[in-house]
Amino acid sequence: MDKAVYVVSDLHLGPGRLPNGSWDPLEDFVYGEDFARFVDTIGRSRDPLELVIAGDFLEYPQTLPAIGLTSPADHLGTTEDESLLRTEVILGRRPEIASGHPEVFAALRRFMIEGHSITIIVGNHDIDLFWKRVWTLIFDAIYPPGAWGELRRVAYSHTIGNAEHGRVHIEHGHEHDPANRFGDRMERPFAVDHQGVQRLKRCWGTLFVDKVYNELEQGRWFIDNVKPIPRVVKLGLRNDFLFTATALGLITRFLLTSGLPPMLGGAEDAEPIGDILGGAAPEAEQVIDQVADDDLRKAIEAQLSDPAFRAEIESSLAGMSSAEWGMVQAGAASAVTLDDVSGGVSGDLVLGGGDGAEDAYQQAARAVMEADPQIETVIMGHTHGPIDGYLRPFDLQSGRKGLYFNTGTWTRHLKHEGQQSYTWQEIGEEMSYTSSFTFVKLEPQRDGSYQPRLGSWALGDT
């Protein structure tokens, strides 16, 4: 019989504690000892196991955040040396900077010493794992020489099982999120800047974290604990104007260009928007008038009379390429609102049950199962909201039943995410949050299929 499999996601291991013992303000993973106990407990199994970490294992954008501001272009991220430094911090090898999370890597190494295997799927927050030297550091920290099990890095998806029916497809899920997709199933993670330096590609979500969220989170600790990002932005615009002109400019560019190829103006020869009219960028009003989102447009227009605000937002908008601006003016892409990229949920609420329609992740899961009759379960992470697939099974065209699970997160999240709506005031209250430490366990069956179960380490499940 095949081995049992545990699937977790979205741990977001970051810098850890500062040298003075306090948590780094941008650290979202404060449960290293809990996760280590979980790994040690399941690792006592006499039979070999597989642990799948389905994306966003590590939190690169919020580790040494100043690095994210040094890239020469919005669509480009870090160099290999910069990602290496961040990796050393997360591993706990730069104590003069921060503690990192050595207890987690020690637990994973013990897990492999017991003869088990680990599969790490790359997510949008740890695309840095594609660097050869970065993966070597992580591999050496976890893999004990001579171990019986395997340690694998998977670019996009991982399939469990070998039965005619009942196999399991696992992916992170970010490629179904307009703000965080790379568009190529992580097949081409690198690009070259104008100086010939190889860098990671950077999606809009990471750009927003680098240029906006890292600064905002210093004063609004909760802002990175609620997903999706655009819906939190929407609520912030209406209830607490904390967003800078840079943030509003980035949001505007994203909404105007999200339907254009490439989304971030990633062409290496793209000219800046300032080249359009003899070196003079269009007036801010020309760009803002194109915005379909009423709340965003009104929020910007109300501030444009302030010279400092105007200069900052025009500087941010100037990053749009001239080709993109021309296509926007020509109507080459349909107008997009924050509600559109947040899953279609509007109003003054961050979260809500919606109208029961399938979201982009469920639609993608259905497509995977329809395309491959051997797959009957799809597991994703990314959204941080755990989903038990048995509560809403899919009726597939062939007459089969399909299941979609979400592993949730090991960071703090709203207590009733997906079931209750929250106001802006409520999402800023610590009592609204909990940590459920969810996972999906896949039990092997005699016919080679797998039976999934959503569990919670916080409730004592294994």
Q: How many residues does the chain have?
A: 462
61 is written with which tokens?
Answer: 């954008």
pLDDT in tens, 197-239: 999 999 988 988 888 788 878 777 777 777 777 777 777 777 7
List 152's β-bridge partners, or say none. Answer: 119
pLDDT at residue 322, rounded to an integer: 73
Other CB atoms within a 10 A radius of the CB of residue 395 amount to: 10
236 lies in a domain? yes
Cα–Cα dist 462/460, whole Å:
7
Interior/surface letters 116-144, b for 16+ CB within 10 angstroms, e for the rest: bbbbbbbbbbbbbbbbeebbebbeebbbe
Nearest-angstrom CA–CA distance, 225 and 413:
6
CA triple 271-187-176, angle to 5 deg:
85
Report CA-CA distances (Å) from 329 to 170, 287, 293. Answer: 40, 9, 16
Q: How far is CA 359 from the centre of its chain?
A: 17
Q: Is the Cα dihedral 15, 251, 365, 345 positive or negative?
A: positive
Show which of 287, 310, 341 is a domain's final residue. Answer: 341
Name which of 99, 97, 108 is nearest 140 in CA terms. 108
* pLDDT value of position 351: 45
Is the residue at 224 inside a domain? no
Looking at the fold, whether 319 and 370 belong to one and the same domain comes out as no
15 and 158 assigned to the same domain? yes
> Taking the CA atoms of the chain, what radius of gyration do you get in angstroms?
22
- Whether 274 and 364 map to the same domain: the answer is no
**Is residue 286 in a domain?**
yes
**Is 134 found in the same domain as 60?**
yes
The predicted pLDDT at position 215 comes to 82
Q: What is the pLDDT of residue 246?
A: 79
Range of the domain at 285: 229-341
Residue 419's pLDDT is what? 53
CA torsion 180-181-186-189 (nearest 10°) is -60
- The single-letter code of the amino acid at 122 is V
Q: Structural domain tally of the chain? A: 2
Q: Rounded distance, CA 449 to CA 168, Å?
A: 8
Ranges of beta strands (E only) in 64-165 are 117-121, 151-154, 157-160
Would you say residue 273 lies in a domain? yes
- Tell me how far the alpha carbon of residue 418 is from its chain's centroid: 18
Give the residue ranges of the chain where pLDDT is below 50.
261-269, 273-279, 345-354
Q: Please give the sequence-ordered ranges of beta strands (E in DSSP) within 139-277, or none if there are none.
A: 151-154, 157-160, 167-171, 190-192, 198-200
For 417, list phi and psi in degrees, rounded to 5: -60, 130
* Upper half-sphere CA count for residue 253 (Cβ side, 13 Å): 30
Helix (H, G, I), strand (E, B) or coil at 298: helix
Pairing type for strands 401-406 and 394-395 reads antiparallel
**Whether residues 54 and 166 fall in one domain:** yes
Over residues 269-279, the pLDDT tens digits come to 455 544 444 44
Judge if 318 and 418 occupy the same domain. Answer: no
Domain co-membership, 310 together with 381:
no
Same domain, 275 and 377: no
Q: Cα–Cα distance between 152 and 157 in angstroms, integer?
A: 12
The predicted pLDDT at position 145 comes to 95
Which pair of tokens denotes residue 232?
């939190």
Same domain, 296 and 391: no
CATH code of residue 412? 3.60.21
Query: Contacts for 354-361 with beta carbons within 8 Å, 24 or more apart?
Result: 360/176, 360/177, 361/173, 361/176, 361/404, 361/406
Report pLDDT for 271: 52
H or E element at residue 35:
helix 32-43
Q: Nearest Cα to 166, choosing from 403, 453, 395?
A: 403
Do 274 and 305 fall within a single domain?
yes
Q: What is the pLDDT of residue 267?
A: 42
Helix (H, G, I), strand (E, B) or coil at 462: coil
The secondary structure of residue 24, as a DSSP letter, is P
